[in-house]
């Protein structure tokens, strides 16, 4: 297959950009998580050299459409999902309602100390002991968010049995229903560890959300720090 070549070389896009546009238009035929054919096969298909193929793929990697995985190939990334952020919204319930398979697993349980900001939100002294649950959220089998849920250390016993699933539903089943009362949305580059766990390029920004949740009496209970793939999420503020 030959890509278009204009008679006037000054009027046409570089070959690798033409090829990137062709590949971009074909990504809709792939499912998120599938792999492109090997570069050698693509080079043979388009009758170009491997360097041109690599530059075209690099363009789509920079856009967040593709991810290079060492030893495996080039993986197709999914399109962004719209997640409605409201007082009563819960991650698992909201995305399950959109028809997605949602999975949450516990990566780590540890004790830590409250930062000044966390202490202010939770009504504690700075450096007060906290219990942290770090969870990984997967949508349709693909990792999309890391969440650090932090609580006053006095709630360690209540959280001792948590292993997987929605933390909010786990607490609600134990008579501690929470309501989101504050969310601060930002963005930053992911750390090396975050990019590795979330299978995202390090040059793309990660979405961050700081969320404070309270119980039925209005007492602050949970401060959550989430880091999500920006290529997979769009936050919609619901009032």
* 59-73, 133-147, 176-190, 206-220: least confident range: 59-73
Domain span including residue 175: 81-237
> Could you tell me what percent of the chain has a pLDDT over 70?
84
- In this predicted structure, the answer to whether residue 169 has a pLDDT above a threshold of 50 is yes
**Could you tell me the CA-to-CA distances from 137 to 85, 120, 186, 219 in Å, in that order?**
16, 27, 19, 27
CA–CA separation, 99 vs 103, rounded Å? Answer: 13
CB 218 within 8 A of CB 205: no
Do 206 and 117 have their domain in common?
yes
What is the pTM (predicted TM-score) of this model? 0.68
The full DSSP string for the chain is -PPP--SSGGGS--HHHHHHHHHHHHGGGS-TT-BPPPHHHHHHHHT--HHHHHHHHHHHHHHTSEEEETTTEEEEPPPPEEEEE-TT--HHHHHHHTT--EEEEEEEEEEEE--HHHHHHHT--TT-EEEEEEEEEEETTEEEEEEEEEEEGGGHHHHTT--BS-HHHHHHTTT---EEEEEEEEEEPPPHHHHHHHT--TTSPEEEEEEEEE-TTS-EEEEEEEEEETTTEEEEE--
Residue 2 domain-assigned (yes or no): no
Indicate which CATH number applies to the domain containing 24.
1.10.10.10
Token digits of residue 57? 């793929």
User: Given this model, what pLDDT does residue 8 score?
Assistant: 47
Do 57 and 146 belong to one domain?
no
> Using 50, 70 and 90 to split pLDDT, how confident is the model at 141?
confident
| Each residue's pLDDT tens digit, 113-123 | 999 999 999 99
Pick the last residue of a domain from 76, 103, 130.
76
Q: If you average pLDDT over residues 3-19, what whole number do you get?
A: 66
Co-location of 108 and 204 in the same domain = yes
Greater confidence, 103 or 236? 103
Q: How many domains does the chain have?
A: 2
Residue 32 and residue 113 in one domain: no
What does the pLDDT look like over 15-64, one tens digit per residue?
999 999 999 999 889 887 889 999 999 999 999 999 999 999 998 888 77
Regarding whether 199 and 176 lie in a shared domain, the answer is yes
**Chain segment 210-224, per-residue pLDDT in tens:** 999 999 999 999 999
Q: Domain ends where: 31, 55, 76?
A: 76
Q: Which residues pair with 47 in a beta bridge?
A: none
> What integer best gives the mean pLDDT of the chain?
86
Q: Of 35, 51, 76, which marks where a domain is finished? A: 76
Confirm if 66 and 74 have CB atoms less than 8 A apart.
Answer: yes
The CATH number given to whatever domain includes residue 183 is: 3.40.1410.10
- Of 86-90, 149-153, 175-179, which gets the smallest average pLDDT? 86-90
């Amino acid at each position: 297959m030959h890509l278009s070549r204009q008679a006037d070389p000054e009027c046409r896009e570089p070959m690798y950009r033409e090829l990137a546009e062709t590949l971009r238009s074909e990504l809709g035929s792939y499912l998120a998580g599938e792999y492109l054919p090997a570069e050698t096969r693509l080079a043979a298909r388009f009758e170009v050299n491997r360097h041109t193929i690599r530059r075209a793929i690099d363009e789509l990697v920079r856009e967040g459409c593709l991810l290079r995985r060492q030893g495996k190939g080039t993986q197709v990334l999914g399109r962004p999902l719209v997640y409605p952020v409201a007082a009563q919204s819960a991650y698992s319930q909201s995305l399950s309602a959109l028809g997605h398979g949602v999975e949450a697993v516990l990566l780590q349980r540890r004790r830590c100390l409250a930062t000044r900001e966390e202490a202010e939100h939770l009504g504690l002294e700075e450096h007060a002991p906290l219990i942290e649950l770090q969870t990984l959220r997967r949508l349709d089998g693909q990792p999309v968010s890391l969440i650090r849920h932090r609580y006053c250390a006095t709630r360690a016993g209540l959280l001792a049995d948590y292993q997987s699933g929605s933390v909010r539903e786990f607490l609600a089943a134990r008579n501690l229903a929470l309501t989101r009362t504050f969310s601060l949305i930002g963005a930053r580059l992911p750390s090396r560890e975050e990019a590795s766990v979330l299978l995202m390029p390090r040059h793309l920004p990660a979405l961050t959300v700081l969320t404070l949740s309270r119980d039925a009496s209005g007492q602050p209970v949970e401060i959550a720090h989430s880091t999500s793939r920006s290529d997979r999420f769009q936050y919609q503020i619901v009032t």
